[in-house]
Amino acid sequence: MDSSLCGLSYPDAAYQRAAIERLLHAHPFLLSRTLGRSLCGRPVTLLKIGRDADERGGVLFAGAFHGIEWLTGMVLLRFVDRLCRAISENQTLAGIHAGRALEGRSLSVVPFVNPDGVEIALHGAEAGFAFRDLILRACDRDPRLWKANARGVDINHNFDAGWQQLREMEKKQGIDGPAPTQYGGSAPESEPETRLLTALCRQEDFRHVLAYHSQGEEIYWHYGENNPPNALLMGRILAVASGYTLSMPSGLASHGGFKDWFIAEFHRPGFTIEIGKGENPLPLSDFDRVYKKLEEMMMLATIM
């Protein structure tokens, strides 16, 4: 977020709570609600800007599916702040007049889909409460690279899109139970964090969604046989705006993800945005550079 609202620090539960409270205080037209709770009882919060005035529906941005990818949640919070500021001050953002662009449109943002995973990655197994011992066993007592939720389920392997095929692939890789990453769970949508997101999509009728991950500076746009005809063009626009590469995932990244499920379920565009380059977790020092490359793309994704 901008330093006027919240200084850069690791986005644990206390940071998230303070940052969202400051956003709501600074921007009274910004809407917020708790979608539900994680396994450990932490809130999964939705922020919403604008109102839909046509039949196309709004747009959804979601981040921090993986614990160590907490920088994605910070990127989303900064974009919400800057977009709200541009609207309230009658200014442009990325060269686009924000207020006029959002007329009849809405943007919903879930900055931290997996708050337990973020807390575990930042503060260790104790942050998993009742799941502490499971976490320590699954990660060989080193949770610094933890991606999963508190039960050791990778949220982005838990969506009902080729889930059974993905489980077979996981087993061949020796992943057959709770793990720091890439375990898809006992069944699709077995995890509360997954169910909160699918319920939101069924309720809100989004016209497209963007799932933010790290790292690689890539954009994934394709899944299965139900790709909408405009998805490739949209992906190319997002790629040009960000300087990222338009790609197609492979291996264990080819099924079970949120954008995979959204495309298969609704036959509408879904994109995975792999922010930044380096090794996860990307350092806080990368934040400004990463965000600057994404702002134009995020603005275009909001209004397309």
DSSP track, 224-288: TT---TTHHHHHHHHHHHHTPEEE---GGGSSS-HHHHHHHHH-S-EEEEEESSSSSSPPGGGHH
pLDDT average, residue stretch 178-202: 97
Q: Which is catalytic among the residues 204, 218, 274, 295?
A: 274
The tally of CA atoms less than 13 A away on the side-chain side of residue 118 is 27
Is the CB of residue 170 less than 8 Å from the CB of residue 140? Answer: no
pLDDT average, residue stretch 79-85: 98
pLDDT average, residue stretch 260-275: 97
Question: How many folded domains does the chain comprise?
Answer: 1
pLDDT average, residue stretch 83-110: 96
Does the pTM surpass 0.75? The reply is yes
Position 154 in a domain: yes
Chain centroid, CA 66 distance in Å = 9
pLDDT attached to residue 7: 59
Position 6 in a domain: no
pLDDT attached to residue 248: 84
What proportion of the chain, given as a percentage, has pLDDT over 90? 89
- Statement: residue 56 has pLDDT above 80: no
Sign of CA dihedral 163, 122, 245, 219: positive
| Residue of 281, 253, 38 whose CA lies nearest to 156 | 253
pLDDT attached to residue 35: 98
Position 266 in a domain: yes
Calculate the alpha carbon distances from 39 to 10, 145, 175 in Å.
Answer: 21, 19, 21
Chain centroid, CA 113 distance in Å = 6
pLDDT attached to residue 173: 93
pLDDT digits 0-9 by tens, 37-48: 999 999 999 999
Position 48 in a domain: yes
pLDDT digits 0-9 by tens, 156-179: 999 999 999 999 999 999 999 999
Q: Which amino acid is at 104?
A: G
Largest CA distance in the chain: 55
Distance CA 78, CA 196 (A): 23
Whether residue 274 lies in the annotated active site: yes
pLDDT digits 0-9 by tens, 198-220: 999 999 989 999 999 999 999 99
- Statement: residue 3 has pLDDT above 70: no
First vs last Cα of the chain: how many Å apart?
Answer: 24
| Residue of 119, 109, 256 whose CA lies nearest to 190 | 256
pLDDT attached to residue 68: 98
- Statement: residue 116 has pLDDT above 80: yes
CB-CB neighbours of 162 under 10 Å: 19
Position 290 in a domain: yes
- Statement: residue 5 has pLDDT above 80: no
pLDDT digits 0-9 by tens, 272-282: 999 999 999 99
Give the pLDDT band (50/70/90) at residue 1.
Answer: very low
pLDDT attached to residue 211: 98
Give the pLDDT band (50/70/90) at residue 4.
Answer: very low
pLDDT attached to residue 54: 59
pLDDT attached to residue 53: 61
Give the pLDDT band (50/70/90) at residue 183.
Answer: very high
Position 5 in a domain: no
pLDDT average, residue stretch 143-168: 96
The residue range of the domain holding 147 is: 13-303
CATH of the domain at 108: 3.40.630.10
Helix (H, G, I), strand (E, B) or coil at 8: coil
Position 212 in a domain: yes
Distance CA 128, CA 224 (A): 35
Average pLDDT, the chain: 94
Position 161 in a domain: yes
